[in-house]
Amino acid sequence: MTVLDRLSLNQATVKRLGVAAAADLCARHGIGAIGLWREPVAEIGLDAAVAAVRAAGLRVSSLCRGGFFTHADPVDRQAAVADNKAAIGEAAALGTDTLILVSGGLVPGSRDIGLARRMIADAIGELVPVAQSHGVRLGIEALHPVFAADRCVVTRLGEALDLAAQFPADAVGVVVDTYHLWWDAALSSDIARARNRIVSYQLSDWILPLPADTLLGRGHVGDGHIDFPPIAAAVAAAGYAGPIEVEIFNEAVWSAPPDETATTVIDRFPQAF
Amino acid sequence: MTVLDRLSLNQATVKRLGVAAAADLCARHGIGAIGLWREPVAEIGLDAAVAAVRAAGLRVSSLCRGGFFTHADPVDRQAAVADNKAAIGEAAALGTDTLILVSGGLVPGSRDIGLARRMIADAIGELVPVAQSHGVRLGIEALHPVFAADRCVVTRLGEALDLAAQFPADAVGVVVDTYHLWWDAALSSDIARARNRIVSYQLSDWILPLPADTLLGRGHVGDGHIDFPPIAAAVAAAGYAGPIEVEIFNEAVWSAPPDETATTVIDRFPQAF
C-alpha cells in the first residue's frame, strides 16, 4: 500500500463535474475513493449516484454535508434536523460511514455565540440515534474563524472535540481539515486527544492573497503556507488510517481541465506526508 | 467617573489625521486619551508629538506598534529588535507604559510556524530588560487567524498568554482586541487567566462581507456581529481598569469627516458595556 491508496478526491475540487463525470475522472486516474456532495447527488438522484460510484469501482469516503443548525425560528431548526436525518440516510445509501457537518454561524439577528453553540449541540443530540441506526458517524468540522459569524461558530479542533465528547464515539467524531486548522498552536495536542474521534482528514493549502470570496482561497497542496507533514504525522499517530480527501475551493482550479486537476492532486499528494 | 472617561481614540481610526490634528480632535470631543502610531509620530518628530498631546491635555494609552520579529536573515532579526528598542524609548517619551506588538507571520521562505513562534519568544526576551528599564510593558497582541501566515502567528489570547507567561508581568502583557478574538470559545476563560497581564483593551466590530483588503474589515461598535458586553465584563473581572481604545481599520470610516467619526465612536462606546 502506498500513500496514494489513501487518496480520495472530494467532489468540490472538480465542482463543475456531476457525480458520474467525477467518478469517471477518479477511475481513469486510479483514485480509489471520492467524497461526494449532496447537491450533485440530488441532481442525478440517489440511486443513480450509487450506481455511478459502483460502476466506477469507488469507495465513498464521506458525504458533504449536513449541519447549518442555527436558526432563530424553531420550525427552521426542526427542518434542519429533519434534513440532516435525510442526509444520514443518503450517506448510508452511498456506502459511506461519514457525514460531514458544517454547524452554522451566529443565529440570524443574534450576537450570542453561546446560543449558537447550544443549538448545535442540541441538534447533534437529536441526530445521534439516527446516525447510530444507520452506522454513520457525524463529523464535526471546525471551520477557520474567518467563517465564524456566517458559517460555523465551531472554530477550533479542540472545540469540535469538546462538542463531540458529549456524544458516543461511534456516532460523533471530528474532521481535521488543514486549511481550517493549520494556524492553531494547540493543533498537535488536539489531534492527539482526538484519538478514535477523527472521521475525516482533508487537505488543501492556505494561499495568499485571499480572494474576494474568502470561501475560495484554497490551493493545491504545496501552493501555500501550510506545513503538511507534521499534521499528517499527528493524524497518523492518533490512529486515523482512513481515506484522505483533497478538497479545494478555488475558482482557478474549478476552471482548469478536470484531468489536469486530478493529475496535480495526485502529483502533490505525497508532499503532504 | 463614567465609562466615557475610559475611552481612548486609537489614531488608526482617523488614519488621515496627523498627530496634532488627531490630538486636537480628541480634545474637542472630550476624549481624554489617544493611542498613537509610530509612523505619524515620526512624521512630525517625537518632540513635536509629545508637545502636541500635552497641549491637548491627553494621556497616551499606547504606542502602536512594535513586533515583526520573524525574518530569515539574522541581520534583519537584529534590526527588528533594535527598532523595537527604539520603539520602547518612544513609548516612554510619549508618556505611555504600553507598546503594542504585532509579532510577525511565517518566516519568509519557511512554512515552519514553530520556528516563527520561537523567533518571537527570543526577540521578546531580548526586549524585556529594555522595557523594564523604561517602565514600558510590551503588549503581545493575538491577531485573528486570517492573518497568521503574513502578519502574526500568535492567533489566540491563550497563546499570547502562554508566551507572556515566560517573562515578568511588569515587562510583558497581552492585548485584548475584540475584532481579533471574539470567535474563540476559550476567550472568557483566557481573559480570566490574563489577570495582571492585560495591558490594553481595544474595540472594533467584525463586519461582513469582508472587504477585498481583509485588514480593513472592521466596524464601529454595533455595526457587526460581536457581543461586546460579556467581553467587557470578563476584562473588568480580570482587573483591567485602564483606557479602552477604539481602533477601526475601515476605508469608509477613514473617508468620513473625523468629527463625525469621533461622534460615532463616543455614541457607540456605551454599547460595549
CB atoms B153 and A112 under 8 Å: no
CB atoms B208 and A149 under 8 Å: yes
Inter-CA distances, A23 with A10, A92, B155, Å = 10, 18, 39
pLDDT band for A212, please (50, 70, 90 cuts): confident
- For the record, the C-alpha cell of B235 comes out as 476584562
Q: How far apart are CA A143 and CA A125, in angstroms?
A: 20
Residues 6+ apart with CB under 8 A from B5: B32
Going by C-alpha positions, the residue among A161, A57, A67, A61 that lies closest to residue A105 is: A67
Q: Which residues of A lie closer than 8 Å to B, measured between beta carbons? A: 106, 111-113, 117, 144-146, 148-150, 153, 155-156, 158-159, 162, 182-186, 206, 208, 210, 212, 214, 224-227
Q: Calculate helix-pair angle for A74-93, A46-55, nearest 10 degrees.
A: 30
Q: Which residues of B lie closer than 8 Å to A, measured between beta carbons? A: 106, 111-113, 117, 144-146, 148-150, 153, 155-156, 158-159, 162, 182-186, 206, 208, 210, 212, 214, 224-227
Going by C-alpha positions, the residue among A151, A141, A143, A63 that lies closest to residue A107 is: A151
CB atoms A145 and B148 under 8 Å: no
User: For A117-152, what is each residue's pLDDT tens digit?
Assistant: 999 999 999 999 999 999 999 999 999 999 999 999
pTM (2 decimals)? 0.95
Residues in B touching A182 (Cβ below 8 Å): 113, 148
Mean pLDDT (whole number) for A251-273: 97
- For the record, the C-alpha cell of A260 comes out as 489536469
Q: Which single residue is written with the C-alpha cell 482528514? A: A201
Per-residue pLDDT tens, chain B, 273 aa: give them: 788 999 999 999 999 999 999 999 999 999 999 999 999 999 999 999 999 999 999 999 999 999 999 999 999 999 999 999 999 999 999 999 999 999 999 999 999 999 999 999 999 999 999 999 999 999 999 999 999 999 999 999 999 999 999 999 999 999 999 999 999 999 999 999 999 999 999 999 999 998 888 889 999 999 999 999 999 999 999 999 999 999 999 999 999 999 999 999 999 999 999
Whether the predicted pLDDT of A1 surpasses 80: no
The separation between CA A100 and the C-alpha centre of its own chain, rounded to angstroms, equals: 5
Q: Closest residue of A to B224, CA-based?
A: A111
ipTM of the complex in this document? 0.93
Instruction: Give how far B183 is from chain A: nearest CA, Å.
Output: 6
Mean pLDDT (whole number) for A162-189: 98
User: For A8-56, what is each residue's pLDDT tens digit?
Assistant: 999 999 999 999 999 999 999 999 999 999 999 999 999 999 999 999 9
CB atoms B184 and A210 under 8 Å: no
The predicted structure's pLDDT at residue B214? 83
Residues in A touching B227 (Cβ below 8 Å): 111-113
The predicted structure's pLDDT at residue B2? 84
Burial code (b: 16+ CB inside 10 Å, e: under 16) for A229-257 equals ebbbebbeebebebbbbbbbbbeebbebe
| Helix H or strand E encompassing B137 | strand B137-141
